[in-house]
Amino acid sequence: MAVIPASCKCHLLPLLQPPQRLPSPPHVWPRPAVTAPTSRRFARLTAAAISTMSPEDASLKKGIAELYDQSSGLWEDIWGDHMHHGFYEPDSAASDADHRFAQIRMIEESLRFAGVSEEGEKRPKRVVDVGCGIGGSSRYLAKKYGASCQGITLSPLQAQRAQTLAASQGLADKVSFQVADALDQPFPDGQFDLVWSMESGEHMPDKKKFVSELARVVAPGGTIILVTWCHRDLSPSEESLKPEEKALLDKICSAYYLPDWCSTTDYVKLLESLSLQDIKAADWSEYVAPFWPAVIRSALTFKGFISLLRSGWKTIRGALVMPLMIRGYKMGLIKFAIITCRKPE
């Protein structure tokens, strides 16, 4: 596994500089109240995004949007604008100062694994960030490649905050965000050279439709990068997970608004069924091991604890099941997977 050595950190320093933080109106961020005109517009788009779904899917998507409306401000305040795992050396004792760099490293390792070129005309020019959070990946990729990036999320406050941060970093002409459903993306076929999904696939109730949408919007010759939580692959003699494994995942699903999990092999089979090429997959669980313990430690600080209490019940419930994520990783049930592929030209 290729990793970014410490000697390369100087190359990434311009991209690692913290964004200029703008003062946030207390009635908009991080609290979930939707009162500003822009917030109302994003909220209407969210309602439109779930209006045609089944009641079960609509309830799931509404829960996801509300969870991130409540929790994203807390996350940004403590961890910054990258809402995903970090990439670490196996068995490393990472200090708290390492975690934000590890999140950048996760982006770089994902691009390296997929073989995304940094050379001239081969660099991606159009990127979609599916499940963009507050736009950390979008802004990073726009800076790295000079690309035009579009991000989609179900959370109105995430989309609004992502747009504010883009403007504060001089990226308003390069990066844009909107409320939209990843299962019904508002883009024409073949629009993007790079389709990026960093830890959003686990929220998708229809994995086949999700992968089909990724394949639809990627341009011929373009790359799909899917980084997501999976359960372990089943052995040839197994038809399903063990009851105790299902029970653990059900508790995590309830807190994080997740539908049924699938395995890395399930994703690979879906990609194969769409005739995508150069399909690669890897289990990066050992490279993300320090992440959840670090999140728990940050929640137990005075600042983290007070912020958590103020953020709402959905965020508190998510914090309470963090130890289950650690248990799932340790028992080999939960896998942190990367799957990449290319669309035929």
Q: What are phi and psi of 100, to 5 degrees?
A: -65, -35
Residue 263 CA, chain-centre distance (Å), reads 17
Please, what is the end-to-end C-alpha distance for the chain in angstroms? Answer: 28
What is the distance between the alpha carbons of residues 233 and 152, in angstroms, rounded to a whole number? 30
In whole angstroms, give the CA distance from residue 47 to residue 51. 6
In angstroms, the CA 194 to CA 181 distance is: 18
What is the C-alpha to C-alpha distance for residues 68 and 84, in angstroms, rounded to an integer?
13
DSSP labels for 186-252?
SS-TT-EEEEEEES-GGG-S-HHHHHHHHHHHEEEEEEEEEEEEEEPPPPTT-SS--HHHHHHHHHH
Reported as half-sphere exposure (CB side, CA atoms, 13 A), residue 44 has a value of 7
Q: How far apart are CA 310 and CA 223, in angstroms?
A: 40
Give the residue carrying structure tokens 């995942």: 249
Q: What is the pLDDT along the chain (345 residues), one digit of tens a residue?
A: 433 344 344 344 334 443 333 333 332 333 333 334 455 555 555 555 545 566 777 888 898 888 888 888 877 877 788 989 999 988 766 665 577 889 999 999 999 999 999 988 899 999 999 999 999 999 999 999 999 999 999 999 999 999 999 999 999 999 999 999 999 999 999 999 999 999 999 999 999 999 999 999 999 999 999 999 999 999 999 999 999 999 999 999 999 999 999 999 999 999 999 999 999 999 999 999 998 888 888 777 766 667 666 777 677 888 889 999 999 999 999 999 999 999 999
Strands across the sheet with 218-231, in order? 175-179, 148-153, 126-130, 192-198, 218-231, 334-342, 277-283
Residue 97 DSSP code:
G
> What CATH number matches the domain at 75-343, 3.10.450.50, 3.40.50.150, 3.40.50.300, 3.40.50.10490?
3.40.50.150
The pTM for the full model equals 0.83
Per-residue pLDDT of 288-300, as tens digits, reads 999 888 888 877 7
Q: What stretches of the chain adopt beta strand conformation (E)? A: 126-130, 148-153, 175-179, 192-198, 218-231, 277-283, 334-342
DSSP 244-284: HHHHHHHHHHHHHT-----BHHHHHHHHHHTT-EEEEEEE-
Sequence spans of domains, the chain: 75-343
Q: Does residue 124 contact residue 327 with C-beta atoms inside 8 Å?
A: no
Interatomic CA distance for residues 167 and 160, integer angstroms? 11
